[in-house]
């Protein structure tokens, strides 16, 4: 290869790189959400905190509501929900006693009868 081929290859590479930078500049000026400018959007990731290699906490906001989610390979868990009308947490949900299915508590098994007999 002669020097003109190397020069041509270098100029084409410089042209491609400059086109990439020009597109990035244009998209940034247009305020594209691809480049992180999400001012007009309602849904935002406020914070992202890695707990360990597989789990992390993510704070998401939509309008005036905030949602704290634990992301893990086993599944996602909502830890805290704070809305405009108040705050609902997992602890508040766990304070109310769980509803028993119909029929539970009415029938006593043999083991429960034995315990009741010993307590008398």
pLDDT in tens, 10-43: 999 999 999 999 998 888 777 666 665 556 678 8
Return the pLDDT at 41: 73
- Token look-up 């947490």 returns 89
Residue 8, pLDDT above cutoff 90: yes
Model pLDDT for residues 48-103, shown as the tens digit of each residue = 989 999 999 998 888 778 888 889 898 888 887 776 544 554 445 444 444 555 55
Query: Is the Cβ–Cβ distance between 58 and 45 less than 8 Å?
Result: yes
Return the pLDDT at 19: 97
When computed from its CA atoms, the radius of gyration of the chain, rounded to whole angstroms, is: 30
Return the pLDDT at 86: 46
Residue 9, pLDDT above cutoff 70: yes
Residue 116, pLDDT above cutoff 60: yes
Return the pLDDT at 106: 52
> In sequence order, what E strands does the chain have?
43-50, 56-62, 65-72, 75-83, 86-89
- State the pTM of this model: 0.42
- The whole-angstrom separation of Cα 91 and Cα 44 is 25
Return the pLDDT at 36: 59
């Amino acid at each position: 290869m002669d020097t003109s081929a190397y020069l041509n290859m270098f100029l084409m590479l410089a042209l491609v790189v400059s086109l990439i930078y020009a597109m990035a500049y244009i998209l940034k000026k247009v305020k594209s959400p691809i480049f992180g400018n999400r001012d007009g959007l309602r849904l935002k990731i406020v914070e992202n905190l890695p707990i360990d290699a597989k789990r992390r906490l993510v704070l998401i906001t939509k309008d005036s509501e905030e949602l704290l989610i634990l992301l893990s390979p086993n599944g996602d868990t909502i830890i805290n929900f704070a809305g405009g009308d108040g705050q609902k947490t997992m602890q508040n949900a766990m304070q109310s006693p769980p509803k028993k299915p119909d029929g539970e508590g009415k029938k006593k098994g043999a083991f429960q009868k034995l315990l009741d007999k010993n307590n008398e």
